[in-house]
Structure 1
Amino acid sequence: MKLCFDQMEETAMPQFKGGEKITYSRFLADGHNRIMRNRLEPGATIGLHTHTGNSEILYILSGSGKAVCDGVEEHLGPGDCHYCPEGHAHTLMNDGTEDLLFFAVVPQHS
C-alpha cells in the first residue's frame, strides 16, 4: 500500500503527550500500526511517555533534535534512527532552528 503523506491532512496536536507547543502529524492508523510523518517547530517537544502495548521507531528526515530515552540523551539529525522499545520511556524535542521532520512507526504488540 502506497502512502502519500503530502496528500494527507496535517493534524495539529497541541502539547502532545504533555509536551511544549504543537506536534503536527500526517498519519495512517489501522489498529495494528500507526504510520506517521510528523513535524516539530523549533522549541516544540513531545512529552515524556512510556510505551505500553507498543514500541516506536523514529527516522529523522530533516532538522535536528534530541531524544531522551530512559534518561539517556541522544542527539538526532537527518538519517538517524531512534528506537523506543515497549516498556521504555522517551521524549523528543526540536532544539534546532528549523522544523524537525521525522517518520515514525508505532506497531501495536499483542
Structure 2
Amino acid sequence: MIIDFDKIPEVRQVGFKGGKGLLDTRNYIDDKVKIMYSTLHPGASTGIHSHDENCEVVFVVSGELSFHYDGKVEVARAGQVHYCSQGHSHYMENLTDHDAVYFAIVPEHH
C-alpha cells in the first residue's frame, strides 16, 4: 500500500494538543495506526501529552525539533528519530527560525 501525502488535504492546526503556534499536517488514519506528515513552524510547539496505551516514532525530515521527554530536552535533527515509548510523556517545539518537517507514526491500541 502506498500512502501519497500529496493527495491528502493539509490541515492547519493552532496550538496542537494545547501547544502554541502553527502546525500543518497531512494524516493517514485507520483503526491500527496514525501516520502524520507535518510541518511545525518556527516558535510553535505541541502540548505535553502521554502515550499511556501506545508509543510514537518521530522522524525529522528537515530542520530540527527540541523534544521534552522524561525531564530532559533532546534535539533531533534531519535524519534522526525521537521515540516516545509507551507509558511516557513528551512534547516538541521548534526553537529555530525555519520550518521543521517530520514524519510520525502512532500505533493505535484498542
TM range (shorter): over 0.9
Normalised by the length of structure 2, the TM-score is 0.95
CA–CA separation in structure 2 for the residues paired with 1:109 and 1:73: 27
Match of 2:95 in 1: 95
Structure 1 unaligned runs (5+)? none
CA–CA separation in structure 2 for the residues paired with 1:53 and 1:24: 25
TM-superposed deviation, 1:52: 2.0
TM-superposed deviation, 1:23: 1.5
CA–CA separation in structure 2 for the residues paired with 1:58 and 1:82: 5
Number of residue pairs the alignment of both structures matches: 110
Per-residue displacement from partner, 1:42-82 (whole Å, max 9, x unpaired)? 00101111112111000000011210111111011100100
Alpha carbon RMSD of aligned pairs, Å?
A: 1.0
Match of 1:57 in 2: 57
Q: Percent identity?
A: 36
Alignment pair present for 1:12 and 2:4: no
List structure 1 runs of 4+ shifted beyond 4 angstroms.
Answer: none
Correspondence list, 1:11-50, <5 A: 11-50=11-50
Correspondence list, 1:77-96, <5 A: 77-96=77-96
